[in-house]
Structure formats: structure tokens, C-alpha cells
Amino acid sequence: EAQVTQNPRYLITVTGKKLTVTCSQNMNHEYMSWYRQDPGLGLRQIYYSMNVEVTDKGDVPEGYKVSRKEKRNFPLILESPSPNQTSLYFCASSLVGSHEQYFGPGTRLTVT
Amino acid sequence: GENVEQHPSTLSVQEGDSAVIKCTYSDSASNYFPWYKQELGKGPQLIIDIRSNVGEKKDQRIAVTLNKTAKHFSLHITETQPEDSAVYFCASGNTPLVFGKGTRLSVIA
């Protein structure tokens, strides 16, 4: 089944404790992206990647890192999480030129 | 960069009525306009899209219209059903897409 998977689905952590949210897709998509969703603010892009080893900042990249060492994986790293990073995070992927993005199920992160 | 405005933020309709959600965009170079539906507890899913070379596209009960001159596009849902209740996002641009803030649609049985 074609899908985007994210892990974990739910995470509660404390300020400053490094964490990684994994994202994997099995559709051989070149393009992958991370979004955060907050009430009243919609979907805001954090980082995106057009292909392996190619990443670019989105609208809200501060406090986040990403890497794209393999085509199928695009982990999101929070080196020192803060409470304002409490949010619902989505990973998405697509073929370059297709535009149709496939979203993962989301990761709800709470930073206390 | 691209800016997308979406209205209304919430919309309640009676089952069987029509629902319309509108979006405006700023970048005249944008040529792709998708609509995503997000059900509770799930990620957004593409339901319909339109490219700049057409003015309207239909798929059963949903349709999207595009006015490139005015830089706005709309989602139309006819004969609404309770399962249409969800959050709907418009988007614009190329790569990356820019999303609107979403519309929470409630269909009242």
C-alpha cells in the first residue's frame, strides 16, 4: 500500500530534550516536506526537500533541522524543543512536477 | 512569496444544501490550485485540483472554479452529506505549495 508513515504518532517531552520524528514514504517520491498545523494558522511549511541531499527552508524553519540521506526518509529533528513547538506535525511527499502531495497521519507533539 | 487567503474559517450547512469556500492568491505566476480535505485525526487528502489553463473542474458533487484575472478560486460542494464534515484547505503555487488557513465545514443532519 502506497503511504507516508510517521513515528511516533504522539509524543510528550520536556523543554530541551532532543527528539526526532521520522517520516518514510514507499512511493519513490523525490519531494518531501514537513508542516506544522496550529489552530487558526493552517498548515505552515517547516522544511522541504526536492531530492536526496537537497533541503530548503520553508516558512517556519527556526528551531528545526532535517536531513535527506535516503530518498524514502526525511526525519525532522528538534535539537532543543521549546513549548512553542507544541503542535501537530505532518510529513508529505510527492513526485516533482506532480504537485499532488500525500500526507502522513500526523505526529502530535507536546513540549512541557 | 505567495500568500493565500481562505474564507470562511467556519461554515455550517444543512444536509442537502450547498457549501462554497473561497480562496484568493497573490502570485500571478501560480498555476496549480488544489483542495485538500482533512478528516478528524487524519492527514489532509487531495480531493480536487485545477490548473490555470481551465476555468472549472467537476468531480461528482464537488467542483472548483478559477478566475485567474481576479486571482481567486472556489470549492463548491453540492448536496452536502454528514461525511463532508471536515476541514478543507486550499493551496496555491508550484513547489512548494502555500496553504490557506483552512475552513471547518459542519454538515448538520
pLDDT digits 0-9 by tens, A30-83: 999 999 999 989 999 999 999 999 999 999 999 999 999 999 999 999 999 999
CA B79 to chain CA centroid, Å, is 16
Question: Sign of the CA dihedral B38, B43, B47, B50?
Answer: positive
pLDDT at B97: 86
Could you tell me the maximum CA-CA distance found in chain A, to the nearest angstrom? Answer: 40
Mutate to test the interface with B, among A99, A100, A102, A107 (most CBs of B within 10 A): A99
pLDDT at A67: 96
Average pLDDT score over residue span B70-80: 96
Please state, for a pLDDT cut of 90, what percent of chain B lies above it. 83
Task: Reply yes or no on whether the pLDDT at B62 is more than 90.
Answer: yes
- From chain A, the residues in CB contact with B96 under 8 A are 33, 45, 48, 58
Residue in B42, B89, B94 closest to A43 by CB: B89
- From chain B, the residues in CB contact with A41 under 8 A are 101
Residue A90: band (very low, low, confident or very high) from pLDDT cuts 50, 70, 90: very high
- From chain B, the residues in CB contact with A54 under 8 A are none
pLDDT at B95: 67
Please tell me the least confidently modeled range out of A98-102, B48-52, B83-87. A98-102
Residue, of A39 and A7, whose pLDDT is higher: A7
